[in-house]
Chains A and B, each alone.
Chain A
Amino acid sequence: MTKLWDPYGTGNRPNPYPMYDRLREVAPVYRSQSGDIVVTGYQEVKTVLLDHETYRVGNRYEWIERQVRYLENREEDLTAIMAAMNSFLVQMNGHSHKTTRALIVDAWDNKQVNHIIKNNIDDLLSEVDGEFDLIQDFAAPLPVMTMANIMGMPLKDYQFLKNQTSNLIFSLDMYTSFKTLVRINEAAQALIGYFNDYITYRIKNPSDDLTSKIIALANQRDLGLTNDTLISICIFLFMAGEETTINLIGTGAHNLMLNRDQLEKILNSDQTFDDAIDEALRFESPVHLAGRIANSDSTLAGIEVKKSDTLTLCIGAANRDPRQYPSPHLFDIGRKAKNHIAFGAGLHFCLGSWLARIQWKIAIKELFNRFQNLDIQSEPEWNPMLSIRGLKSLHVTTNQ
């Protein structure tokens, strides 16, 4: 018997799209074996994202909170995860979401990042030649370095930060096992320690970095944020800025190498570049699954949703819905996929989309202008995470 919702099934990691197609055809809104409601239709996902009254965010935080409380009775202490996640913007609702989001958006007044990104790319690309791993040697370190620059941290810390956030990001995944929770907890402890020291330092030594500006504006607005809250806000901001962009650079470069005519086109014309970014986002949406909780009973595409039901919104499936995009499995920058929902929609719409776009553009340009013959050497390897989709390794060669 084949299961309709089978994200770990054979072949579904590298290519989940046939599963999404089957599911969407039978039921774009589907109550899965775990009771969770899986949404794969474009319109249906968008409806949920935009209906803030019926659906709230925070499904991961609420689950972790219950899990951590349960494990306390088993003498297992995983409370650092809760402390780290406590003010993750994407898990916050209502007034606290509104004021925290405004704090970040207003503090982030310096959008001159081109030179930062360019410098980081130069550093990374000067180290490679011949054969290299486009993910580990380029796509993964770049956004981490950029976020460290923007938030004012010393660049030497980026490897530590990368190692920790690539574990902490699993706090937003589905079906987390106990062993994964333990790893998340260790990363949470390490990052809380790091950001505690760093924020304390910035309170005494403010500069023109984003962290200092957030601290200053929070004071000016009298938000009464504790250090613990600031730590969590900054951890999420840092992680959201890098763990996602890595994947857009990785899968984007991969798809362009598979479609060389389109690669040539964008390198020759700046106008087509923006279309290419949107198609890359639509085709392999890095934030692949998002979650919501129902605040009240309702129906969605004819399916009954009960108060407190959890919903899994398959953004990656919605962006390949044939009702929205004809021939959805074709990578085609000519389709001008403007209305994709890879950055979400509504109140939680990604606040770093501009940065992701700039970074992708500069990264792809520099990469292929420097190595004109860059090509795929072997089948890429995919990451194990469901909620964030991307490549773990992509071996390439600069030789003809």
Chain B
Amino acid sequence: MALMSESDLIQLVSRIVSEETQLDLELVSPDKHWATFGLDSINSIYLLEKLENELGVDLNPLMFFDYPTIRTFSAHILTLRSS
């Protein structure tokens, strides 16, 4: 997959979060904690699987807690992909 800008990545992660949680995309703010969207240690696993497959990176479930917003999480994915 081609290199992405941070804002493209935030959009992509937001879209997948919206699909998984059935929330309207406008409600999925990149700066709110995952828990705001009802995401937790159970349903994050399937979300991470979808993201792994779309982005071609390995995502450890602990990362979900290390980077608790779409913005910080996306920034971290960019560092993974560049290394």
Contact = CB atoms under 8 A, between A and B. Distances in A.
Name the prevailing secondary structure of the A interface residues: loop
A352 interface: no
Given A177-B48, A177-B49, A178-B48, A70 B62 contact: no
Interface string A360-378: 0000000000000000000
Contacts of A63: 41-42
11 contacts: A3-B66, A33-B65, A63-B41, A63-B42, A66-B42, A175-B61, A177-B45, A177-B48, A177-B52, A178-B49, A179-B49
A67 B52 CA distance: 18
B16 interface: no
A299 B41 CA distance: 24
Interface string A4-44: 00011000000000000000000000001111000000000
Nearest to B67: A33
A71 B49 CA distance: 12
Interface string B2-32: 0000000000000000000000000000000
Most buried by B among A63, A70, A178, A179: A178
Nearest to A69: B42
Given A33-B66, A34-B65, A178 B45 contact: yes
Contacts of B61: 175-177
Interface residues of A, number: 21
Interface string B32-53: 0000000001110110110010
B14 to A, nearest CB: 20
Contact of B42 (A32, A70, A76): A70
Contacts, number: 45
A10 to B, nearest CB: 11
Sorted from nearest, which 6 A-B pairs have the closest CB atoms? Answer: A178-B49, A34-B65, A33-B65, A175-B61, A175-B62, A70-B42
B60 A71 contact: no
B43 A175 contact: no
A16 to B, nearest CB: 14
Contact of A181 (B45, B52, B68): B45
A35 B60 CA distance: 16
B46 to A, nearest CB: 6
Contacts of B60: 8, 175, 177
B78 interface: no
Given A3-B66, A34-B65, A179-B52, 15 more contacts: A8-B62, A34-B41, A35-B65, A63-B42, A67-B45, A70-B42, A70-B43, A71-B46, A175-B60, A176-B61, A177-B45, A177-B48, A177-B59, A178-B45, A178-B49
How many chain B residues sit at the interface, stated as a range, is: 10 to 19
Contacts of A95: none
Given A175-B61, A177-B49, A178-B49, A67 B66 contact: no
A33 B59 CA distance: 16
A111 interface: no
Contacts of B49: 177-179
A74 interface: yes
Contacts of B52: 177, 179
A35 B46 CA distance: 19
Contacts of A3: 66
Interface string B48-77: 110010000001111001101000000000
Interface string A176-219: 11110100000000000000000000000000000000000000
A382 B59 CA distance: 20
Contacts of B66: 3, 33
Nearest to B20: A74
B79 to A, nearest CB: 13
A181 B23 CA distance: 26
Contacts of B45: 67, 176-178, 181
A32 B61 CA distance: 14
Nearest to A32: B65
